[in-house]
Structures are given as C-alpha cells and as structure tokens.
Structure 1
Amino acid sequence: MRNKQQNMGSQQAVDSSNYLPRTVCMEIPRQVS
C-alpha cells in the first residue's frame, strides 16, 4: 500500500516536470508568431 502511494507520487512529479516545458514550448512560438 505504501509503495503504491510512493510510486504514484513520483509518477505525478515526473508528469508535472514534463508538463511545464511542454506548455512553455507550445506557448512561446504562439506569442512570437
């Protein structure tokens, strides 16, 4: 049970860290063009 929560927490951290650069890469070209 505890291991599952830790795995989900680390997965969320990876998703959020991947999510930010992705949105930035999508937003900047939109503002520039």
Structure 2
Amino acid sequence: EDGEDEGRALRMGKRLLRSLALVFGCVAITSL
C-alpha cells in the first residue's frame, strides 16, 4: 500500500513540476 501511495505522490509531483516549468517558461518569454 505504501508503494502505491508513493507512486501517486510522485506522479502528482511530476505533474506539478511540469506545470511550474510551463508557467516559468511563459513568464520568461513574456519578460523578454
């Protein structure tokens, strides 16, 4: 059960990182 929870958290973290990178990229592009 612990492994399943860990995988879910990891997947959520990856999604969060991707969206964060997307937002950061947009901000960088607009600031140029």
Q: TM-score, normalised by structure 1?
A: 0.72
How far apart, CA to CA, are the structure 1 residues paired with 2:30 and 2:19? 18
Provide the aligned C-alpha RMSD in A: 0.8
Larger Rg: 1
- 2:23 aligned with 1:11: no
Which consecutive segments of 4 or more residues in structure 1 shift more than 4 A? none
Instruction: For structure 1, list consecutive stretches of 5 or more residues without a partner in the other structure.
Output: none
Identity of aligned residues (%): 6
Could you tell me how far 1:2 is from its partner in structure 2? 1.0
| Equivalent residue number for residue 22 of structure 2 | 21
